[in-house]
């Protein structure tokens, strides 16, 4: 299943009990930009790096996990 990075970021923000305004302040942007991030299936790597640092979570690891699952499925199909 493809990763919807915006949903993952939103879920992490909620898990940390932080608000949209807090993240917008940390990113030095408007709240509407954060809401737009939540809607994105994909994201620029520099922005994802900044968000990862701010939220202390490696969102890039999600993509590595997805690739591992794909690799496992390919090896079991052979």
pLDDT tens, residue by residue, 41-64? 999 999 999 999 999 999 999 988
CA separation for the pair 77, 70 (Å, rounded): 11
Please tell me the pTM assigned to this model.
Answer: 0.83
Domains along the chain with CATH numbers: 5-77 (1.10.260.40)
Q: What is the pLDDT of residue 65?
A: 79
Could you please report the per-residue DSSP string of 2-69?
Answer: ---HHHHHHHHHHHTT--HHHHHHHHTS-HHHHHHHHH-SS--HHHHHHHHHHHT--THHHHHHHHHH
């Amino acid at each position: 299943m493809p990763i919807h990075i915006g949903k993952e970021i939103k879920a992490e923000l909620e898990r940390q009990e932080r608000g949209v305004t807090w993240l917008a302040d940390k990113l030095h942007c408007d709240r509407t930009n954060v809401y737009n991030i939540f809607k994105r299936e994909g994201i620029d790597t520099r922005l994802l790096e900044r968000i990862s640092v701010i939220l202390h979570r490696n969102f890039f690891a999600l993509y590595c996990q997805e690739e591992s699952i794909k690799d496992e499925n390919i090896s079991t199909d052979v």
